[in-house]
Amino acid sequence: AVTKVMQKYCLEKRIGKYTLHSIRHTHCSYLLHNDVS
Q: Are 28 and 21 in contact (CB under 8 A)?
A: no
Q: How many domains does the chain have?
A: 1
Residue range of the domain that includes 17: 2-33
pLDDT digits (tens, 9 = 90+) for 3-37: 999 999 999 999 988 888 999 999 999 999 999 98
Sign of CA dihedral 9, 13, 15, 17: positive
> What pLDDT is stored for residue 33 in this prediction?
97
> What pLDDT is stored for residue 17 in this prediction?
84
> What pLDDT is stored for residue 21 in this prediction?
92
> What pLDDT is stored for residue 24 in this prediction?
93
